[in-house]
Structure 1
């Protein structure tokens, strides 16, 4: 019953995204059919990846885009502060890094991890990006969002950027990654976002900085990067780690050795993961070029695809490395609650009932030709 109802969600999503006109249903997860598996997907003929306590992960060659191994690559989980990678990638091109601003009291009083912003101090935008990516400052995230025109506009921009990247598992609700109902991402999407970020010189500079001076009411103080692998792993470039009590630990990182870059993303890990990530990176370097990939990190959509009336659900499929399968948004069950626990047969049945109701409602809309527009904050 579950598998029969999955295409229905794709149909309803297509209707919602394209103003009431149904289009071809997605049949293959983004990056290749194998990445739709909830279990481990690894190449034959080489040693298996090291064991990890992460519920979901992706190991990929950032240079070629080849996914070398994955586990529940498209599973939807709470991203915690790894979502700041999307915040940075979205806002770096929009904000002048040399501009100075004074943050609002609202920005300075954000809960969770903070760099310690003061409404009495003027900060360069690049200071705020360092605070965002090095110290995981939720206060810096809010200050940047407000400078961009407010939280609502920034969420719309971030979700638009996610669609441009074909990170269709991602829905951003906060600029900081603090848990919010409906917010989600996937290990696959974190790897996509990371790969795009590595191509941006400023993004790359912020994530790789180990320590920096940061403005204070009197002089400055030193901040350090939360990514411990910058000090421990040979060739580590950096990127971002995250944690909340609901999301548990998440991480996305990249390292370069011998002129090649490997990206590893993990989600829903219960504890200390640095050694595990190091071993996953080692494995990626050891098998790249020696085994057939299990999928690929797709390229961003062209601007013309986003400018027209059709969006993610109707984007032109690209070709997977195997040559045969098309790459389209994944037609997968909704996994919003998997940040709390893995799905069971009973939870899948509940999901089927929800989807069945959605089908009836969607077909009624189709029958009357009613069109609706997408909300500003995305899916």
Structure 2
């Protein structure tokens, strides 16, 4: 007796009743709390709303507890400009002897943008270069430090590995200076993570807190000053870093300490003069700390891991993006016994399996476009 063929229409109806052959992957939790997925303002109830700012994105956090007190588009990815130098410093301070003497190359000396004024005829201590990096935002100092660390590729691999360790997953470093480059990004949330980790490092804290310092010249020394205006006018200001490019616009991450508590403020994509707004955000943070339910938290760093080829690959613009968790395993786990059986039958006839993958691919492309649009 011959096998009776099941019409395709009947098979389609059976699948529709049983559920999809390929289930949606489970939702990925938002780092720091689901409220931080919002692109709008997220603030606690029962207290005065945070002051207005022209920044596209910001985070106000308690450095001690890690509580995020308020945020706007916390995970929005933007060009970081020179705030990325905070990650450069945090990555290289543990690796470089501050008394190591460095003679910069012409490539370092000729970096575009802000510079401390390095000369190929002068030898500098690493300690001097970190001061130039964090006070005067020297792009020449950033490249000289990268050279002292074994080169640009090594330094970018170190920076991206450090970002992953901090769980600053919105951050991709393509330059040690923060000069705009395709694929480079960070977020207000990540800048707050980086600042919190930096403040726990005594050397990092020393550099960002300096108002001024003497800097070597071919003949003698000259004075350099910190670009962070709040070090002179805001009570308890610690640092950390501000930045600006025509594409990134204004960015800032900084912290202040009062009565034993430290508040971190990070802003990105501000169109103009932001210092007074940062002061207002800091004041709100100190007034609100301990009096309201936080809207999220700054996650703790992961245990240190060796630099892998996958992390190092992020240092080059042509590198493929890091692989995500296997979606098939997640999808299989979400299926019921019925959907597995029907899905297998469909794959056998080669019709619905292809349709399922087509729909899945469309969803993936849409998700990627949405991520790029942030």
Task: Give the structure 2 partner of residue 356 of structure 1.
Answer: 365
Q: How far does the alpha carbon of each residue in 1:346-371 deviate from its partner, in whole angstroms, 9 at most, with x for none?
A: xxxxxx96943899xxxxxxxxxxxx
Q: How far does the alpha carbon of each residue in 1:113-166 deviate from its partner, in whole angstroms, 9 at most, with x for none?
A: 000000111100010000000000000000001111111111111000000000
Distance 2:290 2:209 in 1: 26
Residue 29 (structure 1) shift = 1.1
Distance 1:358 1:283 in 2: 35
The answer to whether the aligner puts 1:222 opposite 2:223 as a matched pair is yes
Task: Give the structure 2 partner of residue 115 of structure 1.
Answer: 116
Task: Give the structure 2 partner of residue 325 of structure 1.
Answer: none
If the length of structure 2 is used for normalisation, what is the TM-score?
0.77
Task: Give the structure 2 partner of residue 81 of structure 1.
Answer: 82
Distance 2:295 2:205 in 1: 27
CA 1:241–1:46 in 2, change beyond 3 Å: closer, same or farther? same
Q: How far does the alpha carbon of each residue in 1:208-242 deviate from its partner, in whole angstroms, 9 at most, with x for none?
A: 00010000000000000000000010000010000
Distance 1:168 1:231 in 2: 33
Task: Give the structure 1 partner of residue 151 of structure 2.
Answer: 150
The equivalences for 1:1-379 within 5 A come to: 27-303=28-304, 355-356=364-365
Q: How far does the alpha carbon of each residue in 1:241-266 deviate from its partner, in whole angstroms, 9 at most, with x for none?
A: 00000000000000000100000000
Distance 2:148 2:306 in 1: 28
Distance 2:244 2:27 in 1: 32
CA RMSD in angstroms, aligned pairs only: 2.2
Q: In the alignment, is the contact (CA less than 8 A) between 2:165 and 2:305 conserved in 1?
A: no
Higher relative contact order (CA 8 A, sep 6+): 1
Aligned positions, number: 299
Distance 1:102 1:79 in 2: 28
CA 1:108–1:65 in 2, change beyond 3 Å: closer, same or farther? same
Distance 2:202 2:44 in 1: 32
Distance 2:153 2:160 in 1: 11
If the length of structure 1 is used for normalisation, what is the TM-score?
0.76
Residue 27 (structure 1) shift = 1.7
Distance 1:149 1:76 in 2: 29
Distance 1:231 1:44 in 2: 33
Distance 2:305 2:119 in 1: 42
Distance 1:75 1:198 in 2: 23
Task: Give the structure 1 partner of residue 352 of structure 2.
Answer: none
Q: How far does the alpha carbon of each residue in 1:48-90 deviate from its partner, in whole angstroms, 9 at most, with x for none?
A: 0000000000000000000000000000000000000000000
Q: In the alignment, is the contact (CA less than 8 A) between 2:191 and 2:266 conserved in 1?
A: yes
Secondary structure of the corresponding residue to residue 224 of structure 2? strand
Larger radius of gyration: 2
Unmatched runs of 5 consecutive residues or more in structure 2: 1-24, 312-321, 326-360, 369-374
